[in-house]
Amino acid sequence: MVMMAYVNPVISIVFGVLILIMPRLLNYLVAIYLIITGVIGLGPHR
Protein backbone atom coordinates (compact mmCIF):
# COMPACT_ATOMS: atom_id res chain seq x y z
CA MET A 1 0.00 0.00 0.00
CA VAL A 2 2.95 2.34 0.46
CA MET A 3 3.53 2.29 -3.30
CA MET A 4 0.01 3.64 -3.91
CA ALA A 5 0.93 6.77 -1.94
CA TYR A 6 3.45 7.59 -4.66
CA VAL A 7 1.48 6.50 -7.73
CA ASN A 8 -1.24 9.18 -7.72
CA PRO A 9 1.11 12.18 -7.41
CA VAL A 10 3.41 10.80 -10.12
CA ILE A 11 0.48 10.17 -12.47
CA SER A 12 -0.83 13.67 -11.76
CA ILE A 13 2.54 15.26 -12.60
CA VAL A 14 2.92 13.26 -15.82
CA PHE A 15 -0.63 14.03 -16.95
CA GLY A 16 -0.16 17.71 -16.05
CA VAL A 17 2.96 17.96 -18.19
CA LEU A 18 1.25 16.16 -21.07
CA ILE A 19 -1.73 18.53 -20.86
CA LEU A 20 0.63 21.52 -20.99
CA ILE A 21 2.35 20.08 -24.06
CA MET A 22 -0.80 18.87 -25.85
CA PRO A 23 -4.02 20.40 -24.42
CA ARG A 24 -6.17 18.24 -26.73
CA LEU A 25 -5.22 15.20 -24.63
CA LEU A 26 -7.05 16.57 -21.58
CA ASN A 27 -10.25 14.55 -22.10
CA TYR A 28 -8.40 11.31 -22.77
CA LEU A 29 -5.98 11.73 -19.87
CA VAL A 30 -8.75 12.51 -17.40
CA ALA A 31 -10.75 9.51 -18.61
CA ILE A 32 -7.73 7.19 -18.33
CA TYR A 33 -6.91 8.52 -14.86
CA LEU A 34 -10.46 7.99 -13.63
CA ILE A 35 -10.60 4.46 -15.05
CA ILE A 36 -7.25 3.51 -13.50
CA THR A 37 -8.10 4.92 -10.07
CA GLY A 38 -11.51 3.24 -10.20
CA VAL A 39 -10.02 -0.15 -11.04
CA ILE A 40 -7.41 0.24 -8.30
CA GLY A 41 -10.13 1.28 -5.86
CA LEU A 42 -12.19 -1.79 -6.69
CA GLY A 43 -9.21 -4.10 -6.34
CA PRO A 44 -8.81 -6.56 -3.48
CA HIS A 45 -8.56 -4.99 -0.05
CA ARG A 46 -6.88 -6.73 2.84
pLDDT tens digits along 26-42: 888 888 888 888 888 88
- Quote the CA–CA distance of 18 and 29 in Å, as a whole number: 9
Beta carbons within 10 angstroms of residue 4's beta carbon: 10
pTM above 0.75, yes or no: no
pLDDT at 1 over 70: no
